[in-house]
Structure 1
Amino acid sequence: MRIGIPRETRPGERLVAATPTTVAQLVKLGYDVVVEAGAGAEASFSDTAYRESGAAIGDAATAWSSDVVTCVNAPDDASVAQLRPGATIVAMMAPAAHPERVAAFAERGVSALALDAVPRISRAQALDVLSTMSNVAGYRAVIEAAEVYGGMFTGQVTAAGKTAPAKVFVIGGGVAGLAAIGAAGSLGAQVRAFDVRPEAGEQIESMGAQFVQAQAAQQAVSSDGYAQEMTSEQERLTAVMYAEESAHADIVITTALVRGAAPRTLTAAMVAAMRPGSVIVDLAASGGGNCELTVPGSTIVTDNGVTIVGYTDLTSRLPKHTSQLFGTNIVNLMKLLTPDADGQVVLDMEDVVQRGMTVTLAGEVLWPPPPVQVSAVPAGAPVEVAPTVDPAVRALEEKEAARRAGQRKLVGYGLGAVLLGLSVAFSPAAFAGYFTVFVLAVFVGYYVISQVSHSLHTPLMAQTNAISGIILVGALLQLGNDSWWVTSLAFVAASVASINIFGGFLVAYRMISMFRKDA
């Protein structure tokens, strides 16, 4: 069978569904590959490179009339008319939002596989183009924000003074949100993020960001990996949180999409409360925008100096690597559809992955697919919405709680002082001197170590190893003392010091090995 790679017909699109590298992989699966002339030019892939990888170069008609046609975006009406009845078309189709496309494919008698309808299960991750595109878009969103933002992302300490790091707030902890968190964190920004799905909190924190807690506004654990429509009460509670977070942020990146539709997360009033020079990058602009003021495809500056980036082509702004990743998703799909690696497509509707992304089969409409349970996490109990409390009553309760906590602390301090006085009064005279040295050592050690920068923890560990060595020598000298009490303490001190020394050097060795190049 022949696979056709046509040139993208959407205006401004720079991506291509296959690269020279992925073409060679398709050829190994037994397929003949034809690439439309100039299809990869915008992504810096020449026709010569495609020929060297085993593809033939043809015109648009040849590519569209192939047995299997793979493209990035859904074909327009003219391109659908060029499809051969019985052929297979593989592309992103948004079938739920565009039923007319489904009807057109059925009328043409083709089998249509929607790349953006891949079930969110582990086995399908290798061909999930939504994750691929979202990952690129999240990374590119930070690049766009860095270009517009009037400051540096990372904090600086120089002879001329210091600058604070940028504060970034990411709405959504999906693939795009996590990519944005990672990119912003790697640039040195302080990142906070929120997602209505509670299971996303651990992923957000694993990327180095702080997960904004808003339990009453969060949903139960999702069963399909996607966020659901929020209730009116959840929307109200999240709006309060969004307003507070955006007012303190330098950069806000929104990524919320529910089945291709963009819920409203930032209102005009929230934008008006942001500081001049702040930046909003709306990754959901293609679905209408999360921000009320977003203009899809454009960048605007509000009256109070907030820049809102609403580009819908972020993935096309990195065409080379995006095309490579997208093409790899296609290869993984074709491996699934070609079990014998003989160049013949075999569609298996018993496979939940293939069934989930099949929109039409030989002209028969199969959309929407049956639901697939993809989460191994049991559904949690519904989150109860906390009752609304009068702010004045809440303030009084907090003040009373603080007063009681202060009283308990004072009582504790008083009891400690009494016990300390009694112990000093009834102990030998030498005890007071030893105890004074011990207390001073605790205070000095605490304040010295707490003020050490994280970057100096490794040399600090070496210093504590040296101190532990001194402790070990002193403990060894006391072993065999006539007093069993002194001998017991010496044994414990020697054991603990040995653990600290050997454990510290082992950790230091492993850390240094991370930066050692193989010979």
Structure 2
Amino acid sequence: MKIGILKETLDGERRVAITPNIAKQLIASGFELIVEEGAGEYSSFMDSDYKNVGVAVEKRAVIFHEAEVLLKINPFDEEDLKLVDKGQILISKLYHKSNPELIQAIANKGVSAFSMDAIPRISRAQDMDVLSSQNNLAGYKAVILGAFEMTKIFPLMMTSAGTIAPARVLIYGIGVAGLQAIATAKRLGAIVEATDIRSETKEQAESLGAKFISVDNEGEESEGGYAKEASADYLKRQKEAVNKSLFKADLVITTANIPGRKAPVLITEEQVMQMKNGAVIIDLAAAQGGNCEVSEINKTIVKNGVKVIGTSIDPRSVSTNASDLYAKNIYNYIIHLTEGTNFKWDLEEEITDETLIVQNGTIRKS
């Protein structure tokens, strides 16, 4: 089976779906690999690195024409689909619940498509979970970005000129990104507080040194490992409980996303106007509408002296590590889906069933 690795075309994207080290492992498993020219250069993987492990380097049109399986990180776009041939297998993130037009366009091409963002949150799929691997890096990078944008330092520092008080960091959402953000901010010496709709995250946050801001969440349990959409009553109570910490915070990081839905608004414009001058908000949910009411994707908005940065590109800015982790996820996933070098198409198996969105032109999941 010939697997094609495509160069990402999304603006700002620097990652690559398969790194030379993982390519070598796939070749050892019996697969043939071809990679688009320059696919890994922004992650410090040169064409020569791929050639050295046995991967052929080709132009983009050749990849689409020759490969049976096409790999990307971001969804296949309109230009990609013009080059796709009937019967090919596409593997990328598809966000199928919020992209019905894309899924229909893929189906119209008569291909099969697996979505990496649909990996179920179960223990045996952890080594395939790209959302976890990439969000872990996003949580780390959000703190580093916040440190750069703030006009204060994180740690308590005693100097001959006086004592500098530690910065205060507030984190909304204690998933993979939130936990890494807590750990990173604590290592840098900040006072960290955190809140989440899921009460079961309290122990996790506290184990990393954060103070958990409790809000009664009866009836707000999680769904499949994710926080579900909160009720209006819960959001009102959370706002009241968190305001004191929010208005004192030097850095706020929001990470709350619900797959296939608009991100919940956790910080209103009214709240932003009451935050202290010089505070920074890093909104990691900006691509899905934002957890902060005033945030815009890939923009910095200043309101009443508060800097609101809407972003979803943090893993891309550490693209070497992000590519390494994504590639390992993909490797584990392909090995799971195949027997020898042939796809098993086992629709009775949960991981295959949940991630196979389109099969031979028929939409299975919407």
- Calculate the TM-score normalised by the size of structure 1: 0.68
- Distance, in Å, in 2 between the alignment partners of 1:186 and 1:64 is 46
In structure 2, distance between residues paired with 1:289 and 1:223: 20
1:204 aligns with 2:205: yes
1:297 to 2:298 alignment: yes
1:186-211 per-position Cα deviation (integer Å, ceiling 9, x unaligned): 11111110000111111111222111
Which structure is larger by alpha-carbon Rg, 1 or 2?
A: 1
Shift of 1:223: 4.3
Q: Counterpart in 2 of 1:232?
A: 232
Report the CA distance shift for 1:214/1:112 in structure 2 as closer, same or farther (over 3 A). Answer: same
Distance 1:154 1:219, change over 3 A: farther
Q: Does the Cα contact within 8 Å between 2:283 and 2:291 map onto a contact in 1? A: yes
Look up the match of 1:344: 342
* Residue equivalent to 2:183: 182
Aligned to 2:125: 124
Amino acid at match of 1:350: E
Q: Is the 8 A contact 1:20 1:50 kept in 2?
A: yes
User: 1:15-40: CA deviations, max 9, x gaps?
Assistant: 11011111111111211000000111
State how 1:73-472 maps to structure 2 within 5 Å.
73-215=74-216, 217=217, 219-260=219-260, 261-302=262-303, 304-339=304-339, 342-368=340-366
CA contact (8 A) 2:220 2:228 kept: no
CA distance in 1, matches of 2:232, 2:312: 28
Quote the Cα distance in structure 1 between the aligned partners of 2:103 and 2:209.
42
Structure number with the bigger relative contact order (C-alpha 8 A, sep ≥ 6) is 2
2:51 maps to a residue whose letter is R
Sort the Cα spacing of 1:195 and 1:85 in 2 relative to 1 into closer, same or farther, 3 A.
Answer: same
Number of residue-to-residue matches in the alignment: 364
Query: 1:480 — aligned with what?
Result: none
SS in 2 for 1:96: helix
The TM-score with structure 2 as length reference comes to: 0.96
Note the aligned Cα RMSD (angstroms): 1.3
What is the distance in 2 between the residues matched to 1:113 and 1:245?
42
Unaligned runs of 5+ in 1: 369-519
Partner of 1:490: none
For residue 159 of structure 1, report the CA deviation from its aligned partner: 2.6
Deviations 1:173-228 (A, max 9, x none): 1111111111111111111100001111111112221111112x454442411111
**1 CA distance for matches of 2:346 and 2:277?**
56
Look up the SS of the partner of 1:3 in the other structure: strand
CA distance in 1, matches of 2:37, 2:259: 35
Cα distance between partner residues in 2 of 1:293 and 1:77: 30
- 1:104, distance to aligned residue in structure 2 (A): 1.4
Q: Which amino acid aligns with 1:366?
A: R
Structure with a larger share of its residues in strand: 2
Displacement of 1:231 in angstroms is 1.6
Identity of aligned residues (%): 38
Deviations 1:368-396 (A, max 9, x none): 4xxxxxxxxxxxxxxxxxxxxxxxxxxxx
Q: Report the CA distance between 1:338 and its aligned residue.
A: 2.3
**Distance in structure 2 (CA, Å) of the matches to 1:160 and 1:222:** 49
Deviations 1:143-190 (A, max 9, x none): 110001111111112232211111100000111111111111111111
2:26 is matched with: 26
Residue ranges of structure 2 left out of the alignment (5+ in a row): none
Question: Which is helix-richer, 1 or 2?
Answer: 1
Residue aligning to 2:52: 52
Counterpart residue type for residue 4 of structure 1: G
Corresponding residue SS for 1:264: coil
**CA drift at 1:43:** 1.0
In 2, Cα distance between equivalents of 1:245 and 1:39: 44
SS at 2:169 equivalent: strand
CA 1:102–1:285: 2 relative to 1, 3 Å: same
Distance apart, 1:344 and its partner CA: 2.1
Aligned to 2:41: 41
Q: 1:77, 1:220 → 2: CA distance?
A: 39
Q: In the aligned structure 2, how far is the partner of 1:344 from the partner of 1:243?
A: 55
Q: Which letter maps to 1:314?
A: D
